[in-house]
Structure 1
């Protein structure tokens, strides 16, 4: 479950995420923790805390912001609460090929975002190249077109990008913490949820809903972040180890996620889940294009800059 703290460790950190231990995200977190401890020769120890053990995403962000020695699995959507421009990285149908995301991470635009969230949120983003997976909709009916999505009460995280995207698709986004999504779906508070297949499996959502529509509306990347002041207090070699191993773990999870989607689909089908692949993606793309105009706090021309990076 976690890297074991070394008795002689100079630096002890915790790594928090809300995914289940069965998910690729947890495997990557443990991979990162072990690699850091090994490369630092025991100077750094990191214990991994899955399944929201340290609190919800929002709660842990606040702990990190005020200086807690926690590395948080971070999402551009949550970081956009502190640096609005980050939100564009979580936009609907932004990427055709997940590999294109690296173009953004290599860009001056991304460097500006990193500097911005360091200044406004006191977060040091160690990496943002962890492919979390394409997000699809699970419900007890198909959601393959705009008519079927209309009025659907669907769980979303507490983030404007998700809410606006579901609204544009015709659905009604209901904000529920991930730890409560199983209860929300089984009790009927929501009729649907959206997540990568690994997360749907890990949260056992298939016990309450039996139909998955392969909408792929978000191809989500996450990464690691920690308190910027705490990071700056470490020797340069420690900073380098944390940052480089965070990126290396991103390569590991991206390969794992790309390999494992078929495996999770087979597991879900064995539990009686039906998959709908004949999705009107073009209609969903057109409907959600206006979402990129709903964020007045973004810098002027932000989406155009993103498209220029991706399309070149």
Structure 2
């Protein structure tokens, strides 16, 4: 099973690289990028900036074709497609790679990254974030380029939540990641894995009682039309990255790799700064749509999650400590 998967990935990488080598002067290397975000979303714009910068830096010899709104599939489907070369770049959170290696779930560990300032320290050149990305490449076979701060994940709910005890019996949509299931089980909710593109209808139909996502996703997906509350738990400070198949990426010419890394980091850094401006407006936008903002006892949520770390192996726990201590003297 593993050998077959590796073989397919290697063949896809070789086929694309061979085509680029033969036609460098005539035909550009075309890379298919995918996001579940719509074209006007900030992270789609990050992809657009990336595509434009790479095209300019390579004199049109590397072209990134963007696909939006989940047109090529869900996050999981497009990541799987990286193995076969039907997509080459996915704009998504690193936690979605946890089915390939459990350590990737660290990107979604609760209260790991404190705020934007801490995020910048974690992700600075030579920092623990880069070491984490390198480890994911080694373990899971994915190249991660850049890091774009999405802001805190918050809850959209049918009823107000002020403390962990209020979560009892709450059917909460979570991404299909082990770390999210473990987090919300520890807090006392009933986590229900579901693709992001299905959440709105599930809320409307009462299949689930709540969902959690960064506020930009609450607004983009119009959760407020289905449920009236947003609970400011801030349980994960999430970030996006450009995800490549590592075998494919590492077989590209070195100069192409350098451009993809440099421009990817710049595009994600731009997205982080733009998101900081937008985050200041999101609560007001939600309130205009009739949303009731609830500020729960976050300290109680943190305390309830303390035992979660003990469910993970020693190396995972070491990474938690490295992230949490980043920037401390």
TM beyond 0.5: yes
Contact 1:83 1:116 in 2 (8 A): no
Alpha-carbon offset, residue 217 of structure 1: 0.7
Q: Which residue of 1 aligns with 2:233?
A: 215
Q: Would you say how many aligned residue pairs link Structure 1 and Structure 2?
A: 304
Residues 171, 9 of structure 1: alpha-carbon distance in 2 compared, 3 angstrom cutoff: farther
Q: Distance in 1 between matches of 2:102 and 2:328?
A: 23
Equivalent residue for 1:294, pick from 311, 318, 325: 311
Equivalent residue for 1:85, pick from 87, 103, 120: 103
Alpha-carbon offset, residue 44 of structure 1: 1.2
Q: Which structure 2 segments of 5+ residues have no match?
A: 1-24
Q: Distance in 2 between matches of 1:99 and 1:8?
A: 45
Q: Which residue of 2 aligns with 1:52?
A: 70
Q: Distance in 1 between matches of 2:267 and 2:78?
A: 21
Q: Which residue of 2 aligns with 1:124?
A: 143
Equivalent residue for 1:12, pick from 8, 30, 37: 30
Q: Distance in 2 between matches of 1:273 and 1:298?
A: 41
Describe how 1:259-274 pairs up with structure 2 within 5 A: 259-274=277-292
Question: In structure 2, the residue corresponding to 1:311 is in which secondary structure?
Answer: coil
Q: Distance in 2 between matches of 1:233 and 1:297?
A: 33
Contact 2:103 2:136 in 1 (8 A): no
Deviation sequence 1:198-245 (CA, Å, 0-9, x none): 111111111101111111111101201112222122222211111111
Contact 1:132 1:257 in 2 (8 A): yes
Equivalent residue for 1:285, pick from 299, 302, 307: 302
Which of these two proteins has the greater Rg computed from alpha carbons?
2
Contact 1:69 1:230 in 2 (8 A): no
Question: In structure 2, the residue corresponding to 1:242 is in which secondary structure?
Answer: helix
- Post-superposition, which runs of at least 4 consecutive aligned residues in structure 1 deviate over 6 A? none
Residues 292, 310 of structure 1: alpha-carbon distance in 2 compared, 3 angstrom cutoff: farther
Q: Which residue of 2 aligns with 1:33?
A: 51
Q: Which structure 1 segments of 5+ residues have no match?
A: 1-6
Alpha-carbon offset, residue 190 of structure 1: 0.4
Q: Which residue of 2 aligns with 1:306?
A: 323
Question: In structure 1, the residue corresponding to 2:182 is in which secondary structure?
Answer: helix
Give the TM-score normalised by structure 2: 0.85
Give the TM-score normalised by structure 1: 0.90
Equivalent residue for 1:169, pick from 180, 187, 196: 187
Q: Which residue of 2 aligns with 1:250?
A: 268
The yes-or-no answer on 1:146 pairing with 2:155 is no
